[in-house]
Structure 1
């Protein structure tokens, strides 16, 4: 693919939001007036070319920009990937850490946070309307209220809204102090070496050395190449703002991606029906089919039938498959799920079917279990909200354990002892958040644990109240023995929903 074709392929995948992000990140690199007038990503690329920041076979800055905005899948067009960029950016960056820190604030800011910060910053109304946080940051910079060394105004507002966002500012400030200290130390060392060499040469018979030799000695000492390389690499490693280099990933290149088994129970002998569960089943089917898995659904299974179904799959030859996924949608109690007969099976028994000993053809491969079921007593929600729990006289508490064998992940919709919400029109909070984040984050090259962390955040921010006095929340919980990163290969086609959300 030639230079122009690469740029066109990248541009075709970028959105207007991406363009706004790229322009903000380039504010220190391009003339601001020209930059702010740019209307398309191709125009931005041309401006970068004009200033020799983007050339054929010189994609460093573009790759860095794509990495920062999370368009990791597009890095392959430039012949690199997320993991390689993490290593590269430890030693060489173009976008300032200051601007990257501001961009991270923008990405993590909620709409409610933005409203609060706008109020605290006392931004003029005419400028505040329909503006993004990036626009507000530019306004503060333009009016000299914000810069690398001037964070007080922003820091004061953020401190009253979000401690997590404040931590990012504090991390940047600590890193900047460390960088300045390291730079000054490097300068002092270079000057000391230069003086020592000059004094050494002066004390000797200068006739023994030519002018060229003298200059060479002083230059080599002042350059301090070995010292520079060592200090620079150490400093840039510290400036990564919590990035980690993790290059080992599970192989996902076999003949088949794997099975995705969905066990979906709606009707029960002694419990209320799980209305809305079909929404979860449909969404899971659509998403995992898009990810390349062979989805198979089993509806209305008794406890024995659940076990028989799992035994069937663990006995299959899965040598040519990359992974195994099992999604269970049912009622539940602490560390167990229910069949339609209201008998239960413990979660650790479910996962044990697929241990290395019991399922050797999946040895060393990731096995994922996503369980939408309450883990505590019933709490019946008003109107369209229900809880996936079963009231039972028998409340035996058993501790869930991940099998000794590695490569297993259990994603629970809620922590032990608590209920899990399901909307009868839209499906459960957990499964809907899981599916939505898979469709958004897999194309960016994110691993499964990063995705589940985002699911935790999204679900934890949801709430339901039977009345205006009592607020009910939910907190998912993943447990895992994965040894490597699990990154699903990016599907060739974009995700297409099977149904539209109704109001």
Structure 2
């Protein structure tokens, strides 16, 4: 692949928020008047080429930028990976620790904190309306209120608004006083690149029978559909931040965490969207096994379960809005499971049109669904999130055309009390057996059945799901899969132990 084709491929993988993040990170290496006109990755890359910041022989700056914004899957297009970039940053990095610190603040500040910060800043009204936190930081720099050598204003504000995020500023100052600016701050490995997978070195004895076939949960046909540039879309984007595990929660701290109240009159609603027939994509054989297992397990856990099948993109939105509008005041939690094809950050309707996962989740933020405020909202997605795999003769892909555009990133809302369980990491396939169901959903159901009676919390259960799925492989021992949970839970979530035992024939021990 030639250099320009490689850049075009990377641009296809970037969304609108990514472009704005890259522009912000480049403010010290490109002239600001040049950045104002940039509207796409192609335009940004051209500016970098014009200034000799990237070339066919040296494009580390681009790798550094993708690393910082957590687009590790796109590093493959550059022929590298997260570990290599991280190793080379101390002596090749061009983005200052100051710029990265500001970006990290923007990624971790909540929507409520943004409002409080804007209230404290002496901005004119026009600088406060419909602004992202990156916009706020740019305005502060424009007014010279903050500089690389003077972040006192930020310190004062975050002392009042978010003492936890003040640590990011303090670590930056400490680092600047002791090390060269080019060295990557240690805190960034904790906040920008939280550990999202479990490394497994042992071989799994459980492998698929060679006579069976694995199906890849991938999109059939992706239509080019730009994100709507209306106010509603913008508001959703401003409410959301990149997917990440909560970096402040350690295993030791979690032992002392409070528990979510699970003793209300009703446990909650569980919506299962099972799409297995598509206008153009292949039928998702075995999805009924997953839907049935989820129904039985969540009914056993006390939730009111509703299964809907083969919804188009607008029907998905309508059904989600229906549950958003329900009265959840007497319910402990909300669960939504979506089984379908997908691409990075999206799920597919039966009409082959994409729906952003972050849009789905945004309907349940406190401002949109007040009766679920301070209550856990769980989303489990069984769908591909990209095209990377090591195919073998025993595998067939649902995709009939190559992926042309990636417009969304999987994000959880900045607001607290969300959990998103993805069947696979961004950029990769997820696997489903024709008759036994998917690796991820079957492992999820099996571990809920086994670990809820032991009093285990949901994050411990998902960690076990990670391990079980990571040990799976196809009949030839080639294909692997790694689920990815992310969350903003503030307390431990432990489902009360049901009064009756679960029927053992629902989730078999040998289920994928």
Structure ranking higher in helix proportion: 1
Indicate the structure whose relative CO is greater, using CA pairs within 8 Å and at least 6 residues apart: 2
* Structure (1 or 2) with the larger CA radius of gyration: 1
